[in-house]
Amino acid sequence: MDKNIEIIETINKISEEAKKSLDSAKESSELDGIFKAFMGKKGRLTEILHNIGSYSIEEKKIIGKKSNEVKNEIEAVYNAKKTELSAGENKKFSAEYKIDLTIPGKHIERFHKHPITAVLEEAADFFTSMGFTIVEGPEIETAYYNFDALNIPADHPARDVWDTFYLLNGLVPRTHTSSVQARILEKKELPLRIIAPGRCYRYEAVDATHLFMFNQMEGLFVDKNVKLSDLKGILEETVKHLLGARKTRFRPAFYPFVEPGLDLDIECVFCGGRGCGVCKNTGWIEVIPCGMVHPNVFKYAGIDTEEYKGFAFGMGFDRIVMLKYNINDLRLLYQGSLDILNQF
C-alpha cells in the first residue's frame, strides 16, 4: 500500500504541475506543447502509468481511477485555456492582416453544360431509349470510309458537295459522320441500331448557317424488315422530342449513299412558315437529311441486300440547337462568349 500512496502522490504532483504550466501558457502552440509533454504518448503522466506492473490488482484499480480523474482535470484546463488563447489569437490575426470576418463570402458561379452538349445528351438519351447504341468514329478519316464505301467513287461529282481539306498523307478530316456507317456495317453485327455523334469539317465559307467545323449526329438502323415508314416514324418523333410539335415534311433529295434520299424539313421556327431571311422565304428549314441505305453501301460492306434493309440519317446538330433556342447565327455557339452561353 505504501508504494501505492507513493505513486498517487507522484500523480498528484505531476497533475498540479501540468495544470499550472498549462494555465501559464501564452500561445496555443506553447499550450499544445505542454499538453503533449504530460499527456502525449511519451508524456510524463503516460510514462508513470506505464510502470505500474508491480502493483496488485486492487492497487491498480485505485491508481487507474486516480489517473482518470487527473487526466480529465488536465484536459479541462487545456480546453478552457485553448478557447481563451484562440479567441485572442484570431482577433490579433484579423487586426494584423486586416481581415473582416463579417464580410460575406465570394459568390461562386454555377456552371452548366454548353447548349450543344446539353442537346446532344438529350438526343442521345432519346435514341438509347429506342434501343440505339452510341458509337464513335475517328475525326481524321480515310477517303475510303468518307467517300468510296458510301458509294462516292473518286471521279464522282458528288465529292464536290463534301469538298474538304485533304491532308498530305491522303487522309481527310471527315466531312460527315456517315463515315461511321461504313465502318460499323463492315463489322456485320446485324441487326443494328446506332447513333454516331461528332465533329465534321468542310471547306466552307463561314456565315450565319455554315461553319468549317460543325457537329452531326448520324443514325443507322438495319434489320430484315426495315421500311421507309420506320424512318418517317422515328424521325418525326425525334423532331417532336427535340423541337416540340411542329409541322414537318419530307422532300426528295440526293445523297449517293441512300435510295430514296430525303430531307426532313420543319416549318420555319423564326417566321412560323410565312417566309423570312433564315428560311430563304420558303417557310421551311431542312433539319434531317435521310434515306434508305443504298444497296451499293451494303455491297461494299459485304452484306446481303436481299436479306437486310436499313435507313440512315445525319442531323446537323448545331442546326438543331439553333432552332431549339431561336439562335439566328451559328457562330454565336462557338464564340465562347459568356454573355451568350449564360442565356441557356
Q: How far is the CB of 342 from ligand PHE (least distance, A)?
A: 31
Q: How far is the CB of 316 from ligand PHE (least distance, A)?
A: 7
Q: How far is the CB of 135 from ligand PHE (least distance, A)?
A: 15
Q: How far is the CB of 280 from ligand PHE (least distance, A)?
A: 18
Q: Is residue 205 flagged as an active site residue?
A: no
Please state, as a whole number, how many other Cβ atoms lie within 10 Å of the Cβ of residue 237.
Answer: 12
Residues 6+ apart with CB under 8 A from 45: 11, 14, 15, 18, 38, 39, 67, 70, 71, 74
Are 166 and 142 spatial neighbours (Cβ–Cβ below 8 Å)?
A: no
Among residues 149, 183, 216, 319, the one annotated as catalytic is 216
Q: Is residue 258 flagged as an active site residue?
A: yes
Please identify, using beta-carbon distances, which residue of 173 and 289 lies nearer to ligand PHE.
Answer: 289
Report how far residue 275's alpha carbon sits from residue 230's, in angstroms, rounded to the nearest whole number.
Answer: 30
Show the cell assigned to 214.
460543325
Q: Which among 126, 289, 111, 284 is positioned nearest to 200, based on CA atoms? A: 289
Residues 6+ apart with CB under 8 A from 116: 215, 317, 318, 321, 333
Please identify, using beta-carbon distances, which residue of 59 and 236 lies nearer to ligand PHE.
Answer: 236
Q: What residues make contact with ligand PHE under the rule CB under 6 A?
A: 176, 178, 255, 258, 261, 289-291, 312-314
Q: Where are the alpha helices (DSSP H) in the chain?
A: 2-23, 28-39, 44-50, 57-97, 115-129, 143-146, 178-186, 228-243, 295-301, 317-324, 338-341
Please identify, using beta-carbon distances, which residue of 39 and 290 lies nearer to ligand PHE.
Answer: 290
Peptide bond into 197 cis (omega under 30): no
Q: Is residue 343 flagged as an active site residue?
A: no
Q: Is residue 284 flagged as an active site residue?
A: no
Report how far residue 78's alpha carbon sits from residue 31's, in angstroms, rounded to the nearest whole number.
Answer: 7
- For the chain, state the CA radius of gyration: 38
Q: Which among 72, 257, 77 is positioned nearest to 176, based on CA atoms? A: 257
Q: Is residue 202 flagged as an active site residue?
A: yes
Q: Is residue 124 flagged as an active site residue?
A: no
Please identify, using beta-carbon distances, which residue of 78 and 147 lies nearer to ligand PHE.
Answer: 147
Burial of 151 (0-12, 13-18, 19+ CB in 10 A): buried
Please identify, using beta-carbon distances, which residue of 250 and 255 lies nearer to ligand PHE.
Answer: 255
Residue nearest to ligand PHE (CB): 314
Q: How far is the CB of 106 from ligand PHE (least distance, A)?
A: 46
Among residues 222, 258, 293, 321, the one annotated as catalytic is 258
Q: How far is the CB of 227 from ligand PHE (least distance, A)?
A: 16
Please identify, using beta-carbon distances, which residue of 43 and 289 lies nearer to ligand PHE.
Answer: 289
Please identify, using beta-carbon distances, which residue of 115 and 314 lies nearer to ligand PHE.
Answer: 314
Among residues 18, 25, 135, 162, the one annotated as catalytic is 162
Report how far residue 268's alpha carbon sits from residue 9's, in angstroms, rounded to the nearest whole number.
Answer: 96
Report how far residue 223's alpha carbon sits from residue 244's, in angstroms, rounded to the nearest whole number.
Answer: 29
Residues classed as catalytic: 162, 176, 202, 216, 258, 312
